[in-house]
Each structure stands twice: as C-alpha cells, then as structure tokens.
C-alpha cells in the first residue's frame, strides 16, 4: 500500500483524496487493517461491535431523519471583523453569540417512507427500509458541503457540474439530500423499489445548497426535484446483457460519480455489482465512491479481491479513506485510469 501526498490531497474527478489516503493493492492486507481497527475501536468504547443488520427502525412506516449540519468554519468570526481592525462593541459580541447559536442548531429534516412489509415478504429485499450507513454518510458529506470545508471529500465546483449515479439506493435518502449540489442525480435500484424512491423524492422537495432547512421550515409544495431521475437498474441484468442491451439498461449520460453505499452484503451479488461499476466507470472521468458497513469479513474481502481483479494491467486505482465516516465503516474511492500507468 502506498500513501498519497500528505500535504496536497489529490483529486480523482469530483472526489478529493484526503491526506493519508492509502492505495489498496492487496485485499487481505486491507481487510486485516480494517477489522483490526474495528476490534480496537470496539474494545475502546466497550461496545459489542454488533448492532444487528444495520437498519434504523424496520417497524415504522415513516421515519423523520434529522441531520445535524454542524457549525461552519467561519461561524466563530464576528460579522463586523475586517482586515482594517476589530470592533469590540457589546452589540457585535451579542450578534456573534446569536450567530454561533443559530449555526449550531442548523439541521436538515427529511421524511422517509419505508415499506416494512416488503422487507419481510419479498425475498432478498433489504432496500425497502432505511439503513445507518446512508444516514451517517449523508451527515458527513453535508457537514462538509454546507460548512464550506476547503478539504471536503466531494469538490463542490465539480460536483455541481456532475452527473451522479447511485446504485442500490434503497429508500432514496441520499438522492434527496445530495441532489441540490449536483447537475443531475440518477437514483437506481431494482424495479420493485423505484416507486418507493419516487415517493420519497416527491415527499421531500429540494433545498438550495446554500440554505439548509431549519427545524420546522418547509418549502412550498410547488417545488420539484427536477434534476433527479429514479430508474430501475438491476446489476444481474447488466452483467448478463449484451453490450447493445447494456446501453439500453444503464443511464445514457456518462457519470462523474458512481455512489455505492452499503450495497455489499450478499456474496452472490458481488460479481453483478462489480460488472455494473466497471461498465458505468468512464476512464479518466468517473470516480466511484463505495461505503460499506463492516459485517462479514469474507464478503468484504471477496468484493475487494474482485474489484482488484478487474484491473490486471493497473487500469483501476482503489484508495482507502480512513476516518471519514464515524462508525464501523470502510470507505473506498475507485478511479479507472484513461490508460495504464496514468
């Protein structure tokens, strides 16, 4: 494994590799490091390391998700501070205190409809309820984007021009909260889940990326998510399709970012998922961002081995991003080089 430049985080398309990112070249080594770190974390906080499969609450028809956006970096600076000097009037201090309080309380509330019946009655259906990984990843990214983090994982200037394709989106939470920051968002899952995704998109009108919703605030019902497309995309169909048929099954516009959050759980789906990732990734253009909750060690290893095997001549770079999302997760960034050795 090779560490990236500590002082100048590199970009892979719309994704900025944080300082300390590590190039993954050996699946066994990466898995060993991940699960050793997970065990150490579990021992340190006294938890069991197991919280069930990872869904939020499979007994409710509707969940209200509150995402804490944190305090922007400039919240500590008084509004009247300039390069010419500082005024220390009592009024400005009060204004500063109010500003910090308001910033600390800024949240984004999203209502997500679940299909708890499908979870129990439809074989292999796990996407009809909301999972921790989507919520935790959403909060991490939104804190960076709303807070104006200069080292944010996703580069805002490039993201707003990008077509994002999400695989295995489930309830569609990430499409709801991230679509205001992108040019177009294609949110996908199996055919049976598309109506649920569309329902959640319609239920949560888009917000301007610079104006997070405060508690209780609502946009007018006329607002629509015009830059979001919900579509069926079955990985098994993609894997088995002819090249001509694949063009009809997959989104036609090239993706700047392929997002894969908590989709790695069943060994039988790993080859189809990798085939879909490989097909959608345009060399030199498409970044692939994978977030996985660390459950079965052998499944995580199989996924990484398969991903590395797509790249016998070094076409794929895979980078491990440590410490990005708080919790039992691994985060990888994949980049398919335009030509070997680039």
What pLDDT score does 209 carry? 66
What pLDDT score does 2 carry? 59
What pLDDT score does 44 carry? 73
SS3 of 13, please?
coil
Q: Where are the domains of the chain?
A: 2-53+148-336
Continuous H helices in the chain: 27-45, 90-104, 116-121, 132-147, 156-159, 173-178, 194-203, 235-240, 243-249, 270-280, 297-309
**Residue by residue, what is the 3-state secondary structure of 303-327?**
HHHHHHHCCCCCCEEEEECCCCCCC
Q: For domain 2-53+148-336, which architecture applies?
A: 3-Layer(aba) Sandwich (3.40)
Q: Give CA–CA dist 70/135, Å, rounded.
A: 15
Q: Give CA–CA dist 194/171, Å, rounded.
A: 9
What pLDDT score does 193 carry? 95
Q: Could you read off the pLDDT of 1-36 as tens digits, one per residue?
A: 655 444 445 899 999 999 999 999 999 999 999 999
Closest residue by Cα to residue 192 from 237, 160, 233, 164:
233
Q: Could you read off the pLDDT of 165-222 as tens digits, one per residue?
A: 999 999 999 999 999 999 999 999 999 999 999 999 999 987 666 655 544 444 333 3
What pLDDT score does 277 carry? 98
């Amino acid at each position: 494994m090779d560490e990236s430049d500590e002082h100048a985080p590199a970009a892979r398309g719309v994704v900025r590799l944080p300082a300390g990112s590590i190039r993954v070249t050996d699946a066994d080594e990466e898995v060993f490091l991940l699960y050793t770190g997970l065990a150490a974390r579990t021992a340190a906080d006294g938890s069991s390391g197991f919280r069930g499969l990872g869904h939020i609450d499979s007994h409710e028809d509707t969940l209200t998700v509150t995402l804490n956006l944190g305090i922007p970096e400039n919240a500590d600076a008084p509004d009247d501070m300039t390069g010419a000097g500082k005024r220390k009037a009592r009024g400005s201090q009060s204004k500063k205190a109010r500003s910090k309080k308001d910033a600390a309380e800024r949240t984004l509330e999203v209502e997500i409809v679940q299909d708890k019946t499908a979870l129990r009655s439809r074989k292999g259906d796990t996407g009809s309820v909301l999972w921790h990984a989507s919520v935790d990843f959403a909060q991490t990214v939104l804190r960076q984007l709303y807070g104006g983090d200069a080292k944010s994982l996703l580069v805002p200037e490039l993201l707003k021009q990008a077509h994002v394709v999400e695989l295995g989106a489930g309830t569609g939470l990430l499409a709801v909260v991230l679509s205001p920051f992108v040019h177009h968002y294609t949110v996908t899952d199996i055919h049976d889940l598309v109506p649920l995704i569309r329902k959640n998109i319609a239920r949560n009108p888009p917000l301007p990326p610079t104006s997070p919703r405060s508690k209780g605030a609502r946009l007018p019902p006329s607002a629509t998510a015009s830059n979001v497309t919900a579509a069926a995309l079955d990985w098994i169909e993609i894997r088995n399709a002819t090249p001509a048929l694949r063009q009809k099954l997959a989104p036609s516009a090239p993706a700047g970012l392929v997002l894969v959050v908590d989709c790695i759980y069943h060994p039988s789906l790993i080859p189809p998922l990798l085939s879909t990732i490989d097909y959608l990734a345009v060399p030199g253009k498409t970044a692939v961002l994978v977030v996985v909750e660390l459950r079965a060690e052998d499944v995580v290893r199989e996924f990484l081995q398969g991903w590395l095997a797509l790249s016998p001549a070094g076409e794929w770079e895979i980078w491990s991003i440590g410490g990005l999302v708080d919790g039992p997760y691994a985060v990888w960034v994949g980049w398919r080089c335009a030509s070997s050795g680039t």
